[in-house]
Chains A and B, each alone.
Chain A
Amino acid sequence: MINALLETLFDILQSHSTFADFLLLFTPFILLLELPLLFMVILGMFIWAKKEQKRVAFPKNMPKVTCTLLCYSEGENIIEPIYSLAHQLYPGEIEILVVIDGALANKKTHNVALHLKNEINALQNRELKVIPKYKRGGRVSSMNLGMQLASGEIFMALDGDTTFDNDMVIKAVQNFDNPDVVAVAGNLRVKNAKESLATRLQAIEYMLSITAGRTGLSSFNMVNNISGAFGIFRIEILKLLMGWDSGTAEDFDITMRLKEHFAMYPNWRIVFDPHVIGHTEVPSTLLGFFQQRIRWEGDLFYILIRKYINNIRPSLLGGLNYLFTLVGVYFFQIIMPFVITLYTILMLIFVPFNYLLGLSIIVYAFYFMMLLIFYILYIFLISERPKEDLEYVLYLPLFPIFTYTARINAALALLHSIINKSHLDSNMAPWWVLKKGNY
């Protein structure tokens, strides 16, 4: 079996006149697009790590911070998130707005929040306000309401099922010592990583694709998304943008709208800080993961193609961000899944199985090497829990396959979105809000 495989590998290499010739087959993609992006990210990671060494314990300014916790049917699960905010080590004032969407239907969540009120308000510099929205209005309406009621200078939009490290506010606020920073994207870790293989693989994805990737991009002010579950803004900037737009993928939407000011305000910075940490739950099965991604990728397509296609101009985004948006977002996130899926289908039809298998092993080996380097760099440069993160090296070999299937799944999601306008069925907001929207 192994002999047969090795023979095929040699056959593949010999079928091309030289080894270099074979490599050239993949070169355009890798050399032109993927590698430059990867190198840029790695360079960015080094830049961040260098800066991180200079970090001091406390921020210079301690403005009042408003944390808006978006709650729905979490029930008792909102206790931990609220506690994790109330017992932040931040010495300044923290206002916690617990916005309960559809409070009539979610009485339990409402009651749990009210129950905590006295206890939290007894703490120094902490204030808990419970804001019931009796009719459901969706995430966007909750965040916009929170923004209007907020009394802090710094506004955090947070998910009701996410808990936070006790230094989260300190580290987040520290970024705003730089007056150019308008927003900080928080870093999400997987809370239930040890639950199943699916959650472990997702944990690796969060570490590498999101944490490492965004840290690198952040050094060049090219953060692609401020996560909706964990976005931190200067309130004056939010008011300038007049809050969030209704519709799905509102997090990507507000990131885009921030970036649209970059040409006008070239000093503006969006920072992704990998040490500003929240912990969130991810789907515990692969099926659940794929379903979640079908929704996310679909929403992404909606926002990129239906809403922003006319706004992708260098005059609006600034040159570098324009280029990155084209390559990093439009190409890699929308075109690549289709290319990969198409390639796979064509190869299955036209290429002999053994050849395909051999080719897959070469590609796998290449990506695994890149992954391993990237992973080691992540552990040394960025991770703030290196010991914990190092355990995942055992699952690393499975990760390229996981990503590959995720890409194919993304293609399906995009197709679903194009054909069925799936973004109008999102569970992030009720249909009566989504269907009223302009897109």
Chain B
Amino acid sequence: MKQIAVFSDSSIDTEYDIVTFKSWEEFSNNKTTIAGFYISASCSDIADELIKEIRSSEFWYYLVYTEDLIQNRLFDGEKSLKDAFKSFKFSQELLSKLKLNIKALKREEKLLLYLYLREDYELIPEFHPKTKKLYKYPILEFISQTSNDSWVYELTAKSLLTFSKIVDRVRLCNQCQSAHLYFIDLCPQCKSINIKESKILHCFSCGYVDEEKQFQKDAGLVCPKCLTQLKLIGVDYDLPASEYKCYDCSYIFKEPYVVARCMDCSAENEPDKLNIEEFHKLKLSLQGQEYLLLDQKNVIFSMFAESLKHIKIDEFKLFLNWMTSVFKRDSTFHFLVVLLEFDNMHKFINYYGFTKTNEIMEELSRRILELLRETDMLSMDDEHRLWILLPTTSKKGIEERLLNILHELKIENGPQLSVKLKTFYTIKNPLKEKSNAKTIMNDLLQSEENK
């Protein structure tokens, strides 16, 4: 196993393979590969600075244990060096199972990795009253470099993370998404703030309604309109409950008009129309683990990717552009572009799991690849879309066969794979002056699917 980086003021006598540093600078100047960090009690005072450095560095996903308990979720807790050693060993084993280029990871994958390396780790939202939404997930700002955490919830929509427990529900300004709101009650008629709750009296003999103050005379009540002395509640008068009166427009009302005013952008929102955001404790799901273990998110298209016909999407665009130019010069050189959109991939994976999906996709890709000629090329983009470029191929034959394959892909008892087949054929769709790969691909995305 690799060495453990220990931050300590003095040298430590131990059986474990450690290397001690006094400061972050000393560590970063030293180019050793390590298994994890351990901060001894003697360095507790600089622990907060150290952790920020670690999480911002290339070692951001490493386990960091402390000898003393430190209340900061960026650390992984307090442990003896012996226990820390076991954990480091375990996480190294987990890491070795992954075939990832860690430096090229997107923020979503980074988060999954962070959670994967920590057993039963929960991502807990922390209350920070000064932040815009009142809560933040401590590690995220280091992973995403932004203060907006809402992308995390996209991972739950893809079932890569699961909610373990709801922590809070926050209402946000419609305009600027700030949770710093305060509520003001206004007159529903003229929207004035000059309102006051007061007892409202209703004189039975003449029906006059006004606030109690207008009726008070000495120690009794006298109706200002009909001058009747009101003595017995329920017989001479009643109180239609306590109500509000606007001192600007004299309107009397039961329920004031309440608005939530934003302290950041001073927009006024109706309380029931405020955006609501819930903060949850989050955990890595089994699918999230599978997702990481299976190397990359396009693992389901791995057969295509491994095929010799596979090219990167940028190269695909280059070829398409090239063919467009060729066609413009020689209109007998026809080509066909096929787009297969896999619409419900997330749901599909969610239902069948990665392994089963993978089997289905392998079968599908095997059959599609059998259809293609030497000269054909294919590519995938990030949105589960398969692009195929077929030079000098007529549309009819290939379209029928592709539809057949998709048709035969019926799965008993469960959701079906939803695939949209769209084609662009130079005979059917004449090219315009300005046509290029970008316009063709955009037009295809927006076109109707072939039935």
Chain A residues near B (Cβ < 8 Å): 57-58, 80, 83-84, 87, 89, 163-167, 170-171, 277, 279, 385
Contact = CB atoms under 8 A, between A and B. Distances in A.
Contacts of A87: 199, 233, 239
B239 A167 contact: no
Contact of B221 (A83, A89, A385): A89
B341 to A, nearest CB: 59
B220 A89 contact: yes
A80 B219 contact: no
B411 interface: no
A80 B239 CA distance: 12
B233 A57 contact: no
Contacts of B232: 84, 163-166, 277, 279
The 6 closest A-B pairs by CB, nearest first: A57-B218, A57-B219, A165-B231, A80-B234, A84-B233, A170-B219
B230 interface: yes
B202 to A, nearest CB: 12
Interface of B: 199, 216, 218-221, 230-235, 239
Contacts of A83: 233-234, 239
Between B218, B219, B239, the greatest number of chain A beta carbons within 10 A of the residue's beta carbon is seen for B219
Contact of B231 (A57, A58, A80, A166): A166
Contact of A58 (B219, B230, B233, B235): B219
Nearest to A170: B219
B233 A80 contact: yes
B436 to A, nearest CB: 72
Contact of A167 (B199, B219, B234, B235): B219
Contacts of B234: 80, 83-84, 163
Nearest to B221: A166
A99 B219 CA distance: 29
B386 to A, nearest CB: 64
A385 B218 CA distance: 18
Contact of B219 (A84, A89, A277, A279): A89
Given A89-B219, A170-B219, 9 more contacts: A83-B234, A163-B232, A166-B220, A166-B221, A166-B230, A167-B220, A171-B219, A277-B231, A385-B231
A167 B231 contact: yes
9 contacts: A80-B234, A83-B234, A83-B239, A84-B233, A163-B232, A163-B233, A163-B235, A166-B231, A167-B231
**Which of B218, B231, B232 is the most central at the interface, judged by chain A CB atoms within 10 Å of its CB?**
B232
B431 to A, nearest CB: 76
Contacts of A170: 219
Contacts of B230: 166
Contacts of A57: 218-219
A171 B239 CA distance: 22
Nearest to A385: B231
